[in-house]
Amino acid sequence: MPRRNSHTLHTCQAGNEEPESLFERFPWLYAFCREYLFHDHTKEIEHALWSDEGPTPGSHLIELGCGPGFYACRFAEHFQQLHVIGVDRSELLLDRARWRAKTRRLTNCRFKKDDVRTLNMCTATVDAVIASRLFTILVERERALAEMYRVLRPGGRCFIAEPRSSIRAAVPLTVMWLCARLLALCGDGTRVYREPAKAAVMTNTEFDKLVDSQPWKRVWHRQDAWYHYAVCEKGKPAFGALSAV
């Protein structure tokens, strides 16, 4: 009988019970990448979502896939009139985000564990959404974008930034998989992770198709050498849709 290999790594298969996440296994690594390696889009986000006067008092902002809460804390600190929520599936990364908010004494910023594909939020209750590097390892992209559209209020905007460089996009995932394999070789045992083996960047056509899958009132597309960008504004519902509610 062949000897069983006890140091095997797997990506998850459809229908399996929810496996462990690399982001839970190595939260410190992704937090480092977010803090020091990823491009900082703060100025682009601020310009895209609000006028020169900034957000109106009482506005609600959510950061999807917030990780260690980089943008959520930054905008909560800069605009104290904002109510900010950071959303992520990794409880350990959310703990880091909460620590960041606590050390900055931010009372207008909180974090919750949620799935971007099925957000536990009421329809049309959010004024602005940030989704930076959200879709790189997400399979059901259109489903997540539909949720972003759903929770936005009419007139609300979302900022989307996705890597164009497969090399840059792959850095955090590749390093996490490498760490997982090293641990397995050291006797960590068989583990199943839900993340894919490779990060998938979108072509220009794929990115545009994803963004256009929702009936936005306005969309501004832009790209540079490293990222796709889209700023999407939600319009008012049609009269017939209002009557049906």
Query: Which domains occur in the chain, in start order?
Result: 27-165+200-239 (3.40.50.150)
Strand order in the sheet with 218-223: 109-113, 83-88, 60-64, 126-132, 152-163, 227-233, 218-223
Question: What whole-number distance in Å separates Cα of residue 66 and Cα of residue 73?
Answer: 10
Two tokens, residue 1 = 């009988």
Two tokens, residue 111 = 């974090």
Two tokens, residue 112 = 């919750």
> Exposed, middle or buried, 184 (CB in 10 Å: 0-12/13-18/19+)?
middle
pLDDT of residue 137: 77
| Cβ atoms of 109 and 98 closer than 8 Å | no
Question: What whole-number distance in Å separates Cα of residue 15 and Cα of residue 211?
Answer: 28
Q: Write out residues in the chain with pLDDT < 50, as ranges.
A: 1-16, 242-245
Question: What whole-number distance in Å separates Cα of residue 22 and Cα of residue 182?
Answer: 13
**Per-residue pLDDT tens over the stretch 28-75:** 666 677 776 677 899 999 999 997 889 999 999 999 999 899 999 999
From the list 212, 230, 215, 235, the residue with the least C-alpha distance to 155 is 235
Question: What whole-number distance in Å separates Cα of residue 62 and Cα of residue 68?
Answer: 14
Asked whether the whole model's pTM tops 0.85, one would answer no
